[in-house]
A and B are shown apart, each in its own frame.
Chain A
Amino acid sequence: MNTSPEPAAAIAPRWHRIRMIEHPALRYGLFALAVIYVFWSMGALDLNWHRISNGIPRAGNMFARMIPPDFSRWSLLVKGILESVQMALAASFFGMILAVPLGLCGAANLVPKPVYLVARALIILSRTFHEIIIAIFFVKIFGFGPLAGVLTLIVASTSFISKMIAEDIENMTPGQLEAVRATGASFPKLLIYCISPNTLPRYLGVSIYRLDANIRHSTVVGIVGAGGIGQVLAATFSRYDYDFSLAILITIVSLVFLGEFFSSWVRGHLR
């Protein structure tokens, strides 16, 4: 058995010696740049060990108040969770529906160029801004409460799903479209006979995934007053009810966990 200092070179294939960044100067240079950046930015942000070390006793204090988690106000908790789940469901449902026309218009191989550009612009615009910003706008227009939250999540879901649909359609083998067109089929029949079979499985899978994501996002929009468990959570933090905060957080994590289970089960069945 070979016990020389570089055993790997003798037996393992050559590729593992090839580095990601070939040029040693570039590699070390980037690393050095990263280190320099870290120190510079920390200075710029006025972060120093002093502040961090001051934070540790505060953190300890907070942890002490968090544990054990307080589930006594479970009716409020359940009400908030239920509202979040409802928001997520509604947003997924309407998002799925609205995403179809938007996604179809976002496929370059299907619609004329101007339609495509407008659709893509809409999708990009709604994905650029964090949902909390969109939530604030909806709260301003529709007032506090879950309506603003549902609308926000509908916007988020629609843009996400429609992007997937558009990409799926563009990645289709073009020949299938040609063949169905050559039979004399009109556009609607083209949709249901050629596009739908190809995009349906992934469309459903993405929508189910989005259901799970919406539950997570519904916690966030509550922070600005758009309903859901997030609103309850934000209140607990501002009132220093940390033990209730922990209870809520644990519930959210469990809910998301369950949601992921459910989502992968359904997607498994869709194969």
Chain B
Amino acid sequence: MLAISELKKVYPTGAKALNNVSFTVDQPQVIAIIGPSGAGKSTLIRCINRLVEPTSGKVLLDDIDIVSLSRRELRKARRRMGMIFQEYNLVDRLTVMENLLSGRLGYVSFWRAYSRKFPPKDVVAAFKLLDRVGLEGYQGTRADALSGGQRQRVGIARALMQAPDLLLVDEPTASLDPKTSRQIMRLLVELVQERGTPALVNIHDVALAQSFSDRIIGLTTGEIVFDGTSDQVTEDVLTEIYGEEDWSQTIRKGDDDNSPPTDKKSSKDNGYVREAVAG
């Protein structure tokens, strides 16, 4: 699905943000990328859809090298990659529905986008996604009237509107409280399983990463120093990634708690067909 090969990013100042990063993703899984600030996590994620231009290397999405695409082809390729941001990055003055539909901007004509007359199937998909992330009824609310957790749900839904082949998630929970963080991570994991879409997730909270991901990649000063399952993350591994520290408290011990979600009864089906809900 995704193959990164010898990705390098060097800034004009000479700073090496990414140095020969290579890894592959060949099954739908949640991959957490951990590492200290400045390690290049953000840069890595953004190099994949070329919001940051890599200096050299290859990014193969199903055998298409993203790095070598022209601007027009890049736009087409970006449609296949849904991105979720730390600061949610919704267009504040637009409604939730318009923000969701903006995920389809790569697919509709200019006039449809201007008049906001999107194709019916997009609108139906938007309503369904709204339901799935637990924001039923919020379609007409302006984005800046939502709480942080709600905004991130909209951000997730927007990324999913693209029906992407890959999810790029940049620190989705850094601006959220611990409870909401877990809800959001749980939602992400469920969606990855339902849709079979792999997700690359930058996280700085190691315990959170361990609880919710199938695979962890550790990045330090632009290089991958660890690539394995969350069980394999030992204190030594963390020292290698972050440096000397008392890591005993950071590593997850045992199972995560099963706190129920607050604002919606989460649907456990695949999200597209709903049983008629009584009442």
A interface residues, Cβ below 8 angstroms from B: 173, 175-176, 178-186, 188-189, 192-194, 197-198, 200-201
Contact = CB atoms under 8 A, between A and B. Distances in A.
Contacts of A188: 110
Interface string B106-149: 11001001100000000000000000000000000000000000
A181 to B, nearest CB: 7
B162 A183 contact: yes
A178 B103 CA distance: 13
A195 to B, nearest CB: 9
Interface in B89-112: 89-94, 98, 102-107, 110
A175 B106 contact: no
Residue with the highest number of chain B CB atoms closer than 10 Å, among A175, A184, A192 = A184
A198 B91 contact: yes
Given A179-B85, A184-B78, A185-B106, A193 B113 contact: yes
A184 B114 contact: no
B79 interface: yes
A178 B92 contact: no
A178 B89 contact: yes
B39 interface: no
21 contacts: A173-B87, A175-B87, A176-B89, A178-B51, A178-B85, A178-B89, A179-B91, A179-B158, A180-B91, A180-B102, A182-B51, A182-B83, A183-B78, A183-B102, A184-B76, A184-B78, A185-B75, A186-B110, A192-B113, A194-B91, A194-B102
Interface of B: 49, 51, 75-79, 81-83, 85, 87-94, 98, 102-107, 110, 113-114, 155, 158, 162, 168
Contact of B85 (A175, A184, A193, A194): A175
Contacts of B158: 179, 183
B90 A179 contact: yes
A173 B90 CA distance: 10
B103 A183 contact: yes
B113 A182 contact: no
